[in-house]
Amino acid sequence: MPIDSFRPQSWNAIDDIVIVGGGLAGLFCALKLSPRPVTILAAAPIGQGASSAWAQGGIAAAMSAGDTFDKHVADTIEAGAGIVDEKMARFMVSEGPARIHDLLEYGVPFDRDLEGKLLLSREAAHSERRIVRVRGDMAGKAIMEALIAAVRKTPSIRVLEGYVVEELVREGRFVSGVIARPDAGQSKNRVHFPARAVVLCSGGVGHLYAVTTNPWEACGQGVGMAARAGAIIADPEFVQFHPTAIDIGRDPAPLATEALRGDGAQLVNSAGRRFMLDIHPDGELAPRDIVSRGVFAEVQAGRGAFLDCTKAVGKHFPEMFPTVYASCMAAGIDPVTQPIPVVPAVHYHMGGVLTDAEGRTSVDGLWAAGEVTSTGVHGANRLASNSLLEAVVFAARIAENIKGMLPEPKTGDWGKKAGESDDLVTVEDSPALTALRKLMSAQVGVIRDRNGLKEAIRAIATLERENSRMRFHNIVTTAKLIAVGAYLREESRGGHFRADFPDQRKEWKHRTYMTLADADQVVAELAETAAA
């Protein structure tokens, strides 16, 4: 009997709220819901499987004397290439400073100047210094450590680690719970968690691609699950590639933070030529999609691409950027004296589950926050360091919305407390997932075209037919949505670049909205044309 045919065991009580994912959005939402009972289901020990823990840049918030919400919104809209939802962006930006103060109260040690004021940095496409950081490149790690400590001290939050959520349970038009597989997804048994509200905070899609800066848990399962439950998916074609992943053959690839370029580091090829100035007047500080294509072109041409920090950072590298320094030294590269080899890697997904300003999806009973969503604030290309901001702002809005919509339950002893994790099993890529990752990088990557996308969609359909595991179906569903979105959008905009349609087109200056049924219709049409 196939593993997926086993009937799920049932949890012996109805959880008030289940949060899927132990990253920044999930933990922050749980803390904001306190003292309301919450169960967090995390595939890995909290903090270890979350992209937010690896974020190096920081959080963008308009908090300096010369900065304004209007400036931050304007920069966000400019980076988003014409399709940012301005109303949603304004919600996010205006609530940013309050969320920074929340994080300070939770113990996040943001960098300060000698007077004790927050030290603000500048990153690409920002007109002001508004990035709140921790020790240069350790913001994500420090934020997560502080939130994990706060969660473990909060008795109303139960954390179950090593539970891979595979399915959203629907009763009529409502999501009424989730089904998860314990032991990091390796158990033969699945557990049903009924819930009055489900909050999806399952992260991004990076592991759908062969080269990514994301942990393996970020493989698109959340988007796939939501789509299979009937949720509307928005802007799936917009995938952001970070231009400066460190090219040392590691999976995931370590990241050379954008803050290095903000501090003056330059991109050069193997001949020492600084190539970005030929492509964009802002050079290394151009929007990420432009820099990624510039780096990709040098690598494809055989000239290689390198981030030269020797003059801008030099001997200060170890204390200013300890994470990047450690990654380089482990690979035998001394960034104090040597340029760092770099390559574009999938870093962030602007698309995802469509939500409103309160984090509600198109399916009743299901909320979502973080990278699994598409709120519209990023448009076609995320502005640097807006992702952590989006996660905390909308996680807090979800908490307020749930508190207002559902009556208070009785509190009780959850039994298994935060931190009592199950023994975890390392999950290696299956042959099917390895094939899918190579396919996505080759045909749905930095540069796309019609023929490659048609080939990718047909190959994805074949992989879907030949593999019956529930978890893989969630993953391949997300790949299908991304590929179909890219196939349908016949223009280039932000993180989506079509070699056969290299310019923006006025008729495409809008967001994409798609259901799984819509994507399957395109797959069927392409199958018919192939057979004809």
**Would you call 288 a catalytic residue per the annotation?**
yes
122-131, 275-284, 466-475: which range is least confident on average?
Answer: 122-131
More confident residue, 487 or 420: 487
pLDDT digits (tens, 9 = 90+) for 283-307: 999 878 889 999 999 998 999 999 9
Q: 162, 421 in Cβ contact below 8 A?
A: yes
Q: Mean pLDDT, to the nearest integer, of 383-392? A: 93
pLDDT digits (tens, 9 = 90+) for 484-501: 999 999 999 999 999 999
Tokens of 170: 């629907």
Q: Which strand (E) or helix (H) includes residue 15?
A: strand 15-20
3-state secondary structure of 164: strand
- Given its phi and psi angles, is residue 491 left (phi above 0), alpha (psi -120 to 50 degrees) or beta? beta
Residue 45 to residue 422: CA distance in whole angstroms: 9
Sign of the alpha-carbon dihedral angle for 390, 393, 396, 398:
negative
pLDDT digits (tens, 9 = 90+) for 512-529: 999 999 999 999 999 988
Task: Report DSSP state, residue 259.
Answer: H
117-131, 305-319, 340-354, 440-454: which range is least confident on average?
Answer: 117-131
Residue 415, pLDDT above cutoff 70: no
Residue 234 to residue 211: CA distance in whole angstroms: 24
> Across-strand partners of 234?
352, 513
Q: Which amino acid appears at position 517 of this protein?
A: A
Task: Report DSSP state, residue 169.
Answer: E
Residues 6+ apart with CB under 8 A from 184: 43, 44, 162, 164, 422, 424, 425, 426, 427
Residue 423, pLDDT above cutoff 70: no
From the candidates 36, 99, 288, 498, which is the catalytic residue? 288
Q: Mean pLDDT, to the nearest integer, of 109-114? A: 90
Residue 304 to residue 164: CA distance in whole angstroms: 39
29-38, 253-262, 498-507: which range is least confident on average?
Answer: 253-262
Residue 163 to residue 197: CA distance in whole angstroms: 18
In terms of Cβ atoms closer than 10 Å to its own Cβ (0-12, 13-18, 19+), residue 422 is middle
Residue 498 to residue 390: CA distance in whole angstroms: 28
> Across-strand partners of 239?
349
Tokens of 236: 């799936």
259 — pLDDT class (breaks 50, 70, 90): confident
Residue 242, pLDDT above cutoff 70: yes
pTM of this prediction? 0.89
Q: Which strand (E) or helix (H) includes residue 328?
A: helix 322-330
Structure confidence at residue 492 (pLDDT): 97
61-70, 198-207, 258-267, 414-423: which range is least confident on average?
Answer: 414-423
Task: Report DSSP state, residue 496.
Answer: B
Residue 341, pLDDT above cutoff 70: yes
Residue 2, pLDDT above cutoff 80: no
Q: Mean pLDDT, to the nearest integer, of 296-322? A: 95
**For 468, phi and psi rounded to 5 degrees?**
-100, -5
Q: Mean pLDDT, to the nearest integer, of 319-343? A: 96
Q: 348, 389 in Cβ contact below 8 A?
A: no
Q: Give the CA count within 13 Å in the CB-facing half-sphere of 347.
A: 30
Residue 6, pLDDT above cutoff 70: no
Residues 6+ apart with CB under 8 A from 287: 79, 124, 125, 381, 494
Sheet containing 513-514, strands listed edge to edge, beginning at the edge strand earlier in sequence: 373-374, 352-354, 233-234, 513-514
Residue 257, pLDDT above cutoff 90: no
pLDDT digits (tens, 9 = 90+) for 49-98: 677 776 767 899 999 989 999 999 999 999 999 999 999 999 999 999 99
Rounded to 10 deg, the angle between the 221-228 and 470-488 helix axes is 90
Q: 180, 194 in Cβ contact below 8 A?
A: no
Q: Mean pLDDT, to the nearest integer, of 159-172? A: 95
Residue 139, pLDDT above cutoff 60: yes
5-9, 222-226, 258-262: which range is least confident on average?
Answer: 5-9
> Across-strand partners of 159?
40
Place of tokens 């990035």: 131
- Average pLDDT across the chain, whole number: 91
Structure confidence at residue 426 (pLDDT): 36
Structure confidence at residue 409 (pLDDT): 61
Nearest to 221 by CA among 204, 241, 235: 204
Structure confidence at residue 336 (pLDDT): 98
Residue 427, pLDDT above cutoff 50: no
3-state secondary structure of 361: coil
Residue 411, pLDDT above cutoff 60: no
> Across-strand partners of 20?
41, 200
Residue 428, pLDDT above cutoff 50: no
72-86, 123-137, 231-245, 486-500: which range is least confident on average?
Answer: 123-137
- Outline where DSSP puts E strands in 363-494: 366-368, 373-374
Place of tokens 């179906």: 473
